[in-house]
Amino acid sequence: QVHLQESGPGLLKPSQTLSLTCSVSGASISSGGYYWNWVRQLPGKGLEWIGYIYYTGNTYYNPSLKSRVIVSEDTSKSQFSLKLSSVTAADTAIYYCARAAADYGNAIDVWGRGTTVTVSS
């Protein structure tokens, strides 16, 4: 069974860089056919896709966040990571790591439980 677990600081100050890591078990992030994603949910709001990394190292980002986002991977640790720079209160959200599968039309079939990040001075 595939399991994803987010980790990282829960509290940041404005202008800092958000850094989160997703640890993957039960699947290889080096395997083709899967896209490793970050999705966030603003308080009481809907879902916003941030970006993904493919096993080739190719990345694809939400245009509205692209200038501030880097998604990277560490295959030796079976982890992928999110960096979001210059955060503001508007970046306060639950951050999910998630897997999308080509077998399912690139839909997200596995989600982490999410981690809450608060940006406050």
Partner 1 sequence: DIQMTQSPSSLSASVGDRVTITCRASQSISSSLNWYQQKPGEAPTLLIFAASRLHIGVPSRFSGSGFGTDFTLTIKSLQAEDFGTYYCQQNYGPWTFGHGTKVEVK
d(CA 93, CA 107): 22
102 φ, ψ (degrees, to nearest 5): -60, -30
CB atoms within 10 A of CB 74: 12
Q: Whole-number minimum distance, CB 25 to partner 1, in Å?
A: 16
Residue 82: exposure state from Cβ atoms within 10 A (0-12, 13-18, ≥19): buried
Q: By C-beta, is 36 or 96 nearer to partner 1?
A: 96
H/E stretch holding 83 = strand 79-84
Residue 68 found at the interface with partner 1 (CB under 8 A): no
Instruction: Say how many residues touch partner 1, by CB under 8 A.
Output: 23
The binder of partner 1 chosen from 64, 75, 86, 88 (CB under 8 A) = 64
Query: Which range touches partner 1 (CB under 8 A), out of 16-24, 42-50, 69-77, 78-86?
Result: 42-50
Per-residue x/- marks for partner 1, 96-115, CB under 8 A? x-x-x---xxxxxx-xxxx-
Query: Which range touches partner 1 (CB under 8 A), out of 10-18, 24-32, 68-76, 94-102?
Result: 94-102
Strands 115-119 and 93-101, how do they pair?
A: antiparallel
Smallest CA-to-CA distance from 67 within 87, 53, 48 is with 87
Q: What residue ranges bind partner 1 (CB under 8 A)?
A: 45-49, 60-64, 96, 98, 100, 104-109, 111-114
